[in-house]
């Protein structure tokens, strides 16, 4: 249904984002915060159609989607509050002292926005780590336009939420190019986005392989840029002897719940379990095996 954006379209989008940056970086914290709160309001009032679309694309149940939507709204409002406080600027004033030898100069330091930020949507969090998620909210708070590449697994969902952001941008009189929505199933789309000279940072949540590739591209540029990546991992869990001796079955049930949470598709699930060979470890493994066999089947992400 959705066609990958061409290099020419990506270049045009990035140029518009840079033009928007020259204006948006000067917007007051109150203006930025109002924009993010307006996005949150659009998301809160969008109705149940979003759940229907997201469920059809991801197989995530409505209860999970409702919770994640609430989390996304919370993130937008929280970043808006933090933006207004301004303490994140880390502003410092080191006044001059001409009586020192040599004289001490007057130094003023603060954090400043980098420029357009490319955000790659996550497969397993279609709301909270995708189109209007934390990376997008933090970039807007910092004074940076955002270019979102929709995840191919839920492009309709991403488009629906992108339209909400466009509506909020119009209501808040944001500059053209403050937000852009890009499609791309092929790797070259991601490469075009990361390598474009107007891109100044990238946000990514996904696999190690995908994140490492973005990192490599970012460092191959004439001007390397930061990649803010949360990548998949194999998470180790260490079973201490005393726990196995006194509470092996309870530990196994907790681990089973963690492994099967979200049909085993959460990045935080245990991947390697380490324990000292003992009767407690045998009891643990037997209980874990039974718990996993008895877990309920469910649809995985589409």
C-alpha to C-alpha distance for 67 and 54, rounded to whole angstroms:
13
Which residue has 């008895």 as its token pair?
294
Question: Which residues on neighbouring strands pair with residue 272, listed in sequence order?
Answer: 236
Q: Are 270 and 255 in contact (CB under 8 A)?
A: yes
Tokens of 216: 């490599």
294 φ, ψ (degrees, to nearest 5): -90, 0
- Using CA atoms in the order 87, 133, 260, 235, what is the torsion angle rounded to 10 degrees? -50
C-alpha to C-alpha distance for 131 and 173, rounded to whole angstroms:
20
Radius of gyration of the chain (CA): 23
Q: Are 295 and 256 in contact (CB under 8 A)?
A: yes
- Residue 62 is a catalytic residue: no
Given 170, 267, 279, 291, the catalytic residue: 267
- Residue 230 is a catalytic residue: yes
SS3 letters across 50-96:
HHHHHHHHHCCCHHHHHHHHHHHHHHHHHHHHHHHHCHHHCCEEECC
Q: Are 147 and 117 in contact (CB under 8 A)?
A: yes
Given 68, 230, 279, 291, the catalytic residue: 230
Crossing angle of the two packed helices 7-24 and 187-195, in degrees rounded to 10: 40
Active site residues: 230, 267
């Amino acid at each position: 249904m959705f066609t990958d954006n061409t290099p020419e379209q990506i270049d045009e989008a990035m140029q518009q984002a840079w033009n928007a940056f020259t204006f948006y970086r000067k917007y007051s914290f109150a203006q930025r915060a109002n924009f993010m709160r307006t996005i949150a309001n659009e998301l809160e009032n969008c109705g149940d159609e979003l759940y229907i679309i997201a469920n059809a694309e991801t197989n995530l149940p409505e209860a999970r989607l409702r919770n994640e939507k609430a989390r996304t709204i919370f993130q937008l409002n929280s970043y808006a509050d933090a933006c207004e406080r301004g303490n994140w600027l880390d502003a410092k004033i080191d006044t001059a002292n001409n009586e020192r030898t040599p004289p001490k100069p007057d130094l003023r330091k603060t954090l400043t926005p980098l420029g357009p930020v490319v955000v790659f949507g996550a497969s397993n969090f279609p709301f909270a780590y995708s189109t209007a998620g934390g990376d997008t909210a933090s970039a807007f708070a910092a004074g940076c336009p955002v270019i979102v590449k929709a995840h191919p697994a839920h492009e309709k969902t991403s488009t629906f939420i992108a339209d909400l952001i466009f509506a909020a941008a119009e209501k808040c009189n944001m500059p053209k190019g403050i937000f852009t929505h890009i499609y791309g199933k092929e790797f070259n789309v991601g490469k075009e986005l990361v390598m474009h000279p107007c891109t100044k940072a990238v946000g990514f949540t996904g696999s190690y392989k995908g994140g490492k590739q973005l990192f490599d591209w970012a460092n191959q540029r004439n001007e390397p840029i930061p990649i803010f990546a949360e990548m998949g991992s194999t998470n180790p869990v260490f079973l201490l002897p005393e726990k196995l001796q006194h509470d092996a079955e309870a530990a196994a049930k907790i681990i089973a719940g963690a492994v099967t949470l979200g049909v085993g598709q959460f990045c935080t699930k245990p991947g390697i379990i380490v324990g000292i060979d003992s009767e407690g470890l045998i009891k643990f493994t037997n209980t874990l095996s039974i718990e996993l066999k008895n877990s309920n089947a469910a649809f995985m992400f589409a």
